[in-house]
Amino acid sequence: MIAFAARTLAADLKQEAHRLGFDPVGLAAVPGGPRLALRTAALQRWLAAGHQADMAWMADPRRRQVEALLPGVRSLLAVGLNYYVAEPAAPARLRVARYGWGRDYHRVIDQRLRQLGRWLEGQVPGVAWRACVDSAPLLDKAWAEEAGLGWIGKHGNLIHRRRGSWLLLGHLLTNLELPADAPAQPLCGSCSRCMPACPTGAITEPFVVDSRRCIAFHTIENRDPELPRAIANHLQGWVAGCDLCQEACPWNQQPLASSTDPAVQPRPWWLTLQAEQALGWSDAEWDEKLRASALRRIKPWMWRRNIRAAQPGAAGPENRGG
């Protein structure tokens, strides 16, 4: 593809991605630059330390080799979906991570990326492409950083200058060679407010999150009948994920644009969730309330476990505090 045609197609591709509701968007060239290699090496160290806990899928070798996801891939379009919604929540309610407030983002982003892939086919018949959300074995935040969407912060999330870290990520892989954007430059500097904000000390050092200490991991992925005491003692009302490290980040404390995208608007009950009422819901009621939700991964019995653990005094007086 000649340079002018590639630049034109890249610009049109980004414009179409914006039309589908993505912002920011950026392009990266495969196999990526030096920083991507560093991120890949960091993943290996993270896995070797056991920080993935029970998430065995994080060790999928395809995560270290994007070519395994689409043979012949030459370029990658990274997209962000703003999920920040400025909605007041009821006082003393149980807390649910913002990413789970709206529709299942896996489906939303995947459907829109597939639309984008079909659009690309219309421009270049026979082109190969693949849509990836974070359920695919891809270093999604590292590739988004490579494509210029933002930098990976010390809490492990991607941060954008205007959006903060409230971004859901997706990627469109293609065998077309398109001009790449400059990788994002890290802007955390000496700030480390996210680290002490974690009540369980899950951010063990800058850029390293130990899932074994993470409230989000335990409330969503842990299948044990009871939460570890070290987690249950510090839930602070969180029963599905946790946003504490993100809330502490200065980039999330600036005035942020509240998304008007229907897909990320909160179901009202997320903002008023009370323990007594929720503990009375049957499995069928939970099933109905969690339809088309990313938090459907949390089974009804896990919701009850988490909610009970999050109530004041639930862990027992001898276990409170440290």
* Residues in a beta bridge with 177: none
Distance, CA of 246 to CA of 231 (rounded, Å): 18
Quick one: which H or E segment has residue 207?
A: none
Q: What is the largest CA-CA distance in the chain?
A: 70
Whether the Cβ atoms of residue 251 and residue 107 lie closer than 8 Å to each other: no
Instruction: Determine if residue 53 is left, alpha or beta; phi over 0 gives left, psi from -120 to 50 gives alpha, anything else beta.
Output: left
> What are the phi and psi torsion angles at 77 (to 5°)?
-95, 120
- 104 as an active site residue: the answer is no
**Alpha-carbon dihedral 35, 153, 135, 32, rounded to 10 degrees:** -10
Contacts of 175 by beta carbon, 8 Å cutoff, 6+ apart:
70, 72, 73, 74, 127, 128, 129
Query: Position of tokens 């390293």?
Result: 208
Which of the 8 DSSP states describes residue 253? T
Distance, CA of 36 to CA of 152 (rounded, Å): 12
- DSSP percent split of the chain into helix, strand, coil, nearest 5: 40, 15, 45
Selecting among 134, 210, 243, 287, the annotated active-site residue is: 134
> What are the phi and psi torsion angles at 78 (to 5°)?
-95, 135
Note the residue count of the chain.
Answer: 322
Q: How far is CA 19 from CA 13, 23, 148, 203, 321, in A?
A: 10, 9, 19, 36, 49
Task: List active site positions.
Answer: 134
